Amino acid sequence: MAKKRRESSLISFQQRFGTEQSCIEYLASIRWPKGYKCNKCGSPKAYQLKVQPRVFQCSSCRFQESVTAGTVLHRTKLPLVKWFWAVYLMSQDRRGVSAAHVARELGLHYSTAWTLLHKLRRSLASQGEHLLQGVVEVDETYYGGKGSSDSGGRSLNNDNKILIVMAIERKLAPPNRLPGVKGSGFVAGNAKAALITSACAQSLSSFLKDNVATGANIITDGWAGYNSSGESFEHEAVTLGKPKNAGEFLPLVHLQFNNFKSWVKGTFHGVSKKYMPAYLDEWNYRFNRRSLISNLFQFVVRRITNSAPITYKEIRHGPSLMKPLHGLSR
């Protein structure tokens, strides 16, 4: 008997979410997981409006509520089918997708695709989620070049320098993954990365307290900015000697620095300092769910359904104008 051919996930997705109604029903199942309940009178019965199918009207008090109201999709004029396809493209490709690619595939203007993807990235922000545990490697790297000769060390005097800090759990490599990353005997667990204004003790301590569980054992280089972290963590400072030795003593974090830079350059052809936090949010989310790619679409749709709206103006202004998010862990 001939072996049954595996069904294409792309074809399955198209069959499941090929119409506006199927997308509305899916969003409704997330918004009301136990069935519809009127937000005003509590009635369990409603019907969709024919002229506005995204809107459900309570059968008792006639209160109207859209499945997209108060979410990242708030008042969107785009068909939900295109939103779902954008989420699918973003979540199923390990490399991510650029605005140019989404614009081309979905027949959108570049600016529309750019805004859409930034709204999705906003929903992926996860500050305070899944604090890193155990042994954690921590280091910083520059993105955008080292700048001029008078902008050395960990200085940010040159405008083309962006400083990124990363922490990553160090796990013993299982037998099937030996000898581990760069022969170290270890593999990566979860990770967190963020943009920081400087490598001073205040910035580094704030990052660690937001992302690493109290009592974890952090391993850093000998930079003095990490010294005060000993108040909350077990701290081991490694003397590197020459800077090129950093990859030997902190192999996991340096491998991911290289992977992150390759991802940004290869998929997006560079990112400005203003928007780097959004791309770091996406990287964090992707990396920490790298084994869940088959379920990533539903996780991201749940995020956008439970995240606050964000406008184009807020995106263009940068992180300082953005609203609080959600309490989701997926």
Nearest CA among 52, 57, 12 for reference residue 39? 57
Strand partners, 167: 138, 192
Q: Domain ends where: 98, 123, 148? A: 123
Clarify whether residues 197 and 228 are in a common domain. Answer: yes
Query: How many contiguous H segments (helices) and E segments (strands) does the chain have?
Result: 11, 8
Compute the C-alpha angle 97/101/104, nearest 5°: 150
Q: Is residue 111 part of a domain?
A: yes
Instruction: Please confirm whether the linkage preceding 179 is cis (ω < 30° from 0).
Output: yes
Q: Report how far residue 70's alpha carbon sits from residue 46's, in angstroms, rounded to the nearest whole number.
A: 19
Nearest CA among 271, 275, 272, 299 for reference residue 285? 299
Q: Is residue 268 part of a domain?
A: yes
Which residue range is the domain that position 186 belongs to? 135-274
Q: Which two tokens stand for residue 284?
A: 């964090």
Q: Which two tokens stand for residue 152?
A: 């050395």
Ordered strands of the 162-172 beta sheet? 186-196, 162-172, 135-143, 217-220, 234-237
Q: Report how far residue 204's alpha carbon sits from residue 224's, in angstroms, rounded to the nearest whole number.
A: 10
Residue 125 — pLDDT band, cuts 50, 70, 90? confident
pLDDT of residue 9: 86
Clarify whether residues 104 and 147 are in a common domain. Answer: no
Clarify whether residues 189 and 252 are in a common domain. Answer: yes
Clarify whether residues 163 and 93 are in a common domain. Answer: no
Clarify whether residues 112 and 145 are in a common domain. Answer: no
- Asked whether the predicted pLDDT for residue 326 surpasses 80, the reply is no
Nearest CA among 91, 117, 94, 122 for reference residue 295? 91
Q: Is residue 62 part of a domain?
A: yes
Clarify whether residues 92 and 213 are in a common domain. Answer: no
Clarify whether residues 97 and 143 are in a common domain. Answer: no
Read off the pLDDT of residues 41-94 as tens digits, 9 standing for 90 and up: 999 999 999 999 999 999 999 999 999 999 999 999 999 999 999 999 999 888
Q: Is residue 289 part of a domain?
A: no
Clarify whether residues 163 and 237 are in a common domain. Answer: yes
For 77-200, where are the alpha helices, taking DSSP H only?
A: 80-92, 99-106, 110-123
Q: Report how far residue 10's alpha carbon sits from residue 82's, in angstroms, rounded to the nearest whole number.
A: 14
Residue 146 — pLDDT band, cuts 50, 70, 90? low
pLDDT of residue 215: 93
Question: Distance from CA of residue 134 to its chain's centroid?
Answer: 22
User: What mean pLDDT, rounded, does the chain reach?
Assistant: 88
Clarify whether residues 142 and 114 are in a common domain. Answer: no
Q: Domain ends where: 69, 99, 123? A: 123
Clarify whether residues 53 and 159 are in a common domain. Answer: no
Map tokens 């307290």 to a residue: 209
Cβ–Cβ < 8 Å for 72, 84: no
Q: Report how far residue 158's alpha carbon sits from residue 206's, in angstroms, rounded to the nearest whole number.
A: 23
Ordered strands of the 55-58 beta sheet? 46-48, 55-58, 64-66
Read off the pLDDT of residues 12-47 as tens digits, 9 standing for 90 and up: 999 999 999 999 999 999 999 999 999 999 999 999
Clarify whether residues 108 and 164 are in a common domain. Answer: no
pLDDT of residue 325: 47
Q: Which two tokens stand for residue 280?
A: 């770091």
Q: Is residue 317 part of a domain?
A: no
Q: How many domains does the chain have?
A: 2
What burial letters (b/e) apply to 189-201, b meaning 16+ CB within 10 Å? Answer: bbbbbbbbeebee
pLDDT of residue 230: 65
Q: Is residue 129 part of a domain?
A: no
Q: Would you say the C-alpha torsion 203, 205, 210, 212 has a positive or negative sign?
A: positive
Q: Is residue 34 part of a domain?
A: yes
Q: Would you say the C-alpha torsion 91, 92, 97, 103 has a positive or negative sign?
A: negative
pLDDT of residue 30: 96
Backbone angles phi, psi at 261, to 5 degrees: -65, -40
CATH number, domain with residue 221: 3.30.420
Clarify whether residues 140 and 257 are in a common domain. Answer: yes
- Asked whether the predicted pLDDT for residue 311 surpasses 70, the reply is yes
Map tokens 């509305």 to a residue: 24
Q: Is residue 308 part of a domain?
A: no
First to last CA, the chain: 41
Q: Report how far residue 168's alpha carbon sits from residue 187's, in angstroms, rounded to the nearest whole number.
A: 10
Read off the pLDDT of residues 167-196 as tens digits, 9 standing for 90 and up: 999 999 999 999 999 999 999 999 999 999
Q: Domain ends where: 123, 152, 176? A: 123
- Asked whether the predicted pLDDT for residue 223 surpasses 50, the reply is yes
